[in-house]
Amino acid sequence: MKRYVIIITAAVLGACQQPAGTPQQPEHPTALNLSGRKVTVYTTADSTGYRITATGTLNFEDLPQPLETQPCIFVDPQTTFQQFEGIGGALTDAAAETFAKLPKPAQDSLLAAYYDPAKGIGYTLGRTNIHSCDFSSDSYTYIKEGDSTLSTFSLAHDEQFKIPLIKKAITAAGGKLPLLVSPWSPPAFMKDNNSMLGGGKLLPAYRQNWANYVVKFIKAFEEKGIPVWGLTVQNEPMAKQKWESCIFTAEEERDYIKSFLGPTLQKNGLESKKLIAWDHNRDLIFQRASTILEDEEAAKYVWGIGFHWYETWTGGDMQFDNLRLVNQAFPGKHLVFTEGCKEKFSMDSVNNWSLGERYGHSMINDFNNGTVAWIDWNLLLDEHGGPNHVGNFCFAPVHANTQNGKLIYTNAYWYIGHFSKFIRPGAKRIGAAASRWLLQTTAFQNTDGSIAVVVMNTSSQKIPFQLWIKGKAAGTESLPHSIMTMVL
């Protein structure tokens, strides 16, 4: 007899997004027998001590046709969408340097909190930077400046902090942690501004050298016992930043993929690595995806399109409709959330409930619009929101006070956990809809048959509702600013 895990998280975010893509029928659909089953409820809520806490039990009862006056979350396991790859966070220089300053008990606690699916929230993906990014203590590369032959290539810099942390994370995750790698800038001599910082472009004469460099990095990491799952072409290719950055227009990225990076990966036996284009915000994602993926020679190398959530710099909301359009236009490719964090760190704000609600808002809507994987930015930062060599201090789900060795968990950690702990790799998104605009939902069925339904409520209202599955319903309520998980 199958067990069914039902996750409910509550938080208000405006009108629900329509499911992306064309529904599929499951290979072996089975009817659910919910009669007589007890439902255990887990809750995280503002103004309470609840943090994925068991808060009660519920029963399913007959409810053939709900009324308009009965708020419901409707779930249909026989309507399926994209397959889920996993959730994780970035193992940056900043995370690794901060981790190294912690006493061993705090280090062990952090690893269990992130990677243990029973004691923690069960992360199953990771991301790291190819040489330096803003969240490094300095700018560095793996070669001597000017070495176009790459003969001086060495991972010595990463062996001090980053590689040890990644290896410990792999062990904590049970021996497997698919890793996405991303470059922020080629070495200075390969660029037209002769600097890793401040934008600039890759010089045409060095396109092959840069592709060779990326391949050399992947092979060197794997020789260290760190398997690489995938790579992005360029982090934020339309952003001229004061830190490591490099500009690629859509046409430039397309041509670099099809003439240099794609063929170089293939020639070196790395064609199985997931090559992800764009790796920037949702605002320009359709223009970038269509330019690259409508070119057959470029598209054949591209597994997916990566995106961030920082289009909100304009003062607007996250642009989920752009994801839906990419998903509908290119259903054979994969959407991956590759980075997001709350900027402008302040220790006075680490307990703000809005931190977690921003994560929940993005995750529900990203998944509903076809996203297959979701990777947060820094796993861990210090009490200043760094280290960061250009002063771009930000929030992470967990901060460390390096003076006393204590860990500070923001509610972003718990919100992410309501997804990552219960939705596992290989799951498929299933049909889920809310009958009230104050409730927003997504749902997945895991490979073991368990079902996870997430519902958010960012309002100050307590909202009663019915979880309805095929004529059976379990009544519960969403606390103000809360996220709940129900396990059957």
Catalytic residues: 236, 339
Q: Is the dihedral of CA 396, 397, 399, 405 positive or negative?
A: negative
| Angstrom distance (rounded) from CA 73 to CA 241 | 43
Q: What is the DSSP letter of 314?
A: G
| Angstrom distance (rounded) from CA 434 to CA 74 | 6
* Helix, strand or coil, per DSSP, at residue 226: coil
CB 67 within 8 A of CB 479: no
Phi, psi of 372 (to 5 degrees): -105, -20
Residue 106: CB atoms within 10 Å: 17
| Angstrom distance (rounded) from CA 23 to CA 422 | 22
| Angstrom distance (rounded) from CA 379 to CA 99 | 10
In the chain, the amino acid numbered 414 is: W
Tokens coding 238: 């339309």
| Angstrom distance (rounded) from CA 463 to CA 480 | 8
Tokens coding 160: 């001090």
| Angstrom distance (rounded) from CA 234 to CA 186 | 9
**Residue 377 falls in which region: left (phi positive, over 0), alpha (psi -120 to 50) or beta:** beta
CB 227 within 8 A of CB 178: yes
Q: What is the DSSP letter of 346?
A: -
| Angstrom distance (rounded) from CA 136 to CA 309 | 21
| Angstrom distance (rounded) from CA 105 to CA 84 | 33
DSSP letter string, 114-166: HH-TTTS----EEEEEES--TTSSS---SS-TT-TT-TT---HHHHHTHHHHH
- DSSP bridge partners of 130: 183
405 CB-contact burial (10 Å; exposed 0-12 / middle 13-18 / buried 19+): middle
